[in-house]
Amino acid sequence: MKNRFSLLSLLWTLLIFSGCSSRQVLSSDYNVIPLPVSISLQEEGTPFVLKPSTVVYCPEGDSLLLKNAELLTGYVARQVGFELRITHDDQARNIIRLGSGLQAENAEAYTLVVTPQAVEIEGASAAGTFYGVQTLRKSLPVTDGKVRIALAPVRIEDAPRFSYRGLHLDVARHMFPVEFIKKYIDLLALHNMNMFHWHLTDDQGWRIEIKRYPRLTEVGGWRKATLVSHWEKPDHKYDETPYGGYYTQDEIRDIVRYAADRHVEIVPEIDLPGHMLAALAAYPELGCTGGPYETGTRWGVYDDVLCAGKEEVYEFLEGVFSEIVALFPGRYIHIGGDECPKTRWKSCPDCQAFIRSHGIVSQGKRTREEQLQSYMMSQISDFLGKHGRKVIGWDEILEGGGVKSATIMSWRGTQGGVDAARNGWDAIMVPYQYLYLDYAQSRDEGEPLSIGGYLPLSKVYSYEPLSGELASNPEMGAHVIGVQGNLWTEYFRTAELVEYMAIPRVDAVSEIQWTRPERKNYEKFLGRLNRMRALYDRLGYGYASHGFDEGQSGDNQDM
Ligand code: TNX
């Protein structure tokens, strides 16, 4: 197969460019990640030739398609080395035409049709067009501009399998510059992902400016030291260096805009009522004992959590979420709910009085304190509901009987997602066994220190979100709205480490999210992955080489 391709390139070189110049001709390859629904290639047809005079058309007055056109010309310039011009004249020659008039059930669908004269990308919405743009750019080789690129005639039809295609980043344990957050969003966009779950607060740091509560970042944004040895091993070693910082509201707005241009919605997470030690350090009156508290310096779970028995805690949360709602226009707000020990609540007079006065009682195996957590989460969910938002919570929020209309993020395995779906709630699958990108990806000695676990690329790729009951009962399966990869950063202080953990497992995650299971094939995926390497190099991403090395012998043909 590979030989046939290079023979064809040679033929095209001779036919199209004989006499013109001695420029090299490279061919496109439509086997991209995530793999499209269908690729009908006419291998023998005359190709479309991408060259510096190629123009990108978008209709006048359509700002969304103009954005797509600008992004496309930017991608081409960076990857291929020449700057294409944008035009509103749809009759121009040698043209890439962008439209968003495709009639399709799935609003993110697109078609990409290549003829000798034109490349037509038609989305069912501007988002669909954007995914067509991504497929086109990933089909192009990475070169220095002194070439022509032959795109074989093709018809690609494509649409995502899941509507929620997420990637998460924890900036509480370690934070990263605004420029890196944008680069991370670019990584999502490159993989047709549309949800950036931004974990903004935790025990070890509060990273978002809240005007009404300045101490959250002044005090809660800082910790005095960081655990640098393994958290489960004795003899903890700390670096004894203060660590901190936060994102200003202006920076957040800038990032939200940047993401929106790339059809990425940000899901901000304020994790409560556990994982709140940084907030307690800032405002000790929000805890059961009144403190004093210190922003966390070690990893794991802390007993000190928000007090659920004081009215002022509920007022505080409404104050915080009012600002969150104003900053993030997306549909979802994540309110956490994971790993909240009930130790303090059991002996807190305020919590116990609140339980009595609100008639909160145990139900079956569920304790009164678990019900109290449900009460608190429901209050916040109702508040956000009034602002037109839907909440997402970690699967623990099912423990107190659930929060109505919440979407469950199933991380402790898949049972949370199954239970949610059975009860008619939406679920997002993030089981740690398959999708925790903070786990080690190889057993090599030289692997960076991580929180634990072992999750090689092949295991990520093997994950099938709709199995068991979710597969046999379509009504339940329909409640699984998507899949997400999570990247917690306890041990990843630098952007380089984050990239190393994310890439190439993010590629595998994207095929779980986008590609139909019958199209998935690990060996072929490794072949496709190999081609991503040059693109990652050009775009300045670091990566772990494991998957690429595995793929050296991969067969790259899918059509
Ligand atoms: C569990 S996933 C956590 C995080 C940790 C992570 C480490 C979840 C809801 N909670 O606080 O960072 O494990 O893998």
Task: Give residue 204's domain range.
Answer: 164-428+478-490+506-521
- Tell me: the pLDDT tens digits for 204-215? 999 999 999 999
User: Which pLDDT does position 399 carry in this prediction?
Assistant: 87
Q: Is residue 500 part of a domain?
A: no
Residue 378 located in a structural domain: yes
Q: For position 546, what pLDDT does the model report?
A: 86
pLDDT of residue 559: 42
Does residue 42 sit within a domain? yes
Residue 102 shares a structural domain with residue 33: yes
On whether both 209 and 269 belong to a single domain, the answer is yes
**Residues 305 and 267 grouped into a single domain:** yes
Mutate to test the pocket of ligand 1, among 339, 441, 455 (most ligand atoms within 8 A of CB): 339
The predicted pLDDT at position 20 comes to 47
| Residue 454 counted as domain residue | no
Q: Are residues 33 and 172 in the same domain?
A: no
Q: What CATH number is associated with residue 72?
A: 3.30.379.10
Residue 223 lies in a domain: yes
Distance (angstroms) between ligand 1 centre and the Cα of 542 equals: 24
- Same domain? For 16 and 134 the reply is yes
Closest atom, ligand 1, to C-alpha of 439: 14
Give the CATH number of the domain where residue 272 resides. Answer: 3.20.20.80
Q: What is the pLDDT of residue 403?
A: 87
**Chain centre distance of CA 543:** 17
Q: What confidence score (pLDDT) does residue 7 get?
A: 52
List of the chain residues with pLDDT < 50: 1-6, 14, 17-20, 553-559
From CA 325, how far away is CA 91, in angstroms rounded? Answer: 44
pTM value is: 0.95
31 and 118, same domain (yes or no): yes
Are 200 and 92 contained in the same domain? Answer: no
Domain total in the chain: 2
**Order of strands across the sheet with 147-151?**
24-27, 147-151, 48-50
Classify residue 468: in a domain, yes or no. no
The answer to whether 176 and 495 are in contact (CB under 8 A) is: yes
DSSP string, 372-406: HHHHHHHHHHHHHHHTT-EEEEEGGGGTTT--TTP
pLDDT at 56: 98
DSSP assigned state of 142: P
Pair type for strands 154-158 and 38-41: antiparallel
Q: Count Cβ atoms within 10 A of the Cβ of residue 141 and give its class: 0-12 exposed, 13-18 middle, 19 or more buried.
A: middle
**Does residue 233 lie in a domain region?**
yes
Choose the final residue of a domain: 158, 189, 210: 158
What pLDDT, on the 0 to 100 scale, is given for residue 315? 98
Residues 180 and 272 in one domain: yes
Q: Which residues contact 422 (CB under 8 A, 6 or more apart)?
A: 469, 476
Three-state DSSP class for residue 503:
coil
Indicate whether residue 411 lines ligand 1 (CB < 6 A).
yes
On whether both 138 and 230 belong to a single domain, the answer is: no
CA distance 67 to 81: 20
Please indicate, yes or no, whether residues 312 and 187 belong to a single structural domain of this protein.
yes
Q: Where are the beta strands (DSSP E) in 220-264?
A: 222-223, 243-244
Question: Which of 338, 438, 450, 490 to mutate to test ligand 1, by most ligand atoms within 8 A of the CB atom?
Answer: 338
63-80 and 522-539 helices, crossing angle to 10°:
90
* Residue 548: per-residue pLDDT: 85
Residue 371 lies in a domain: yes
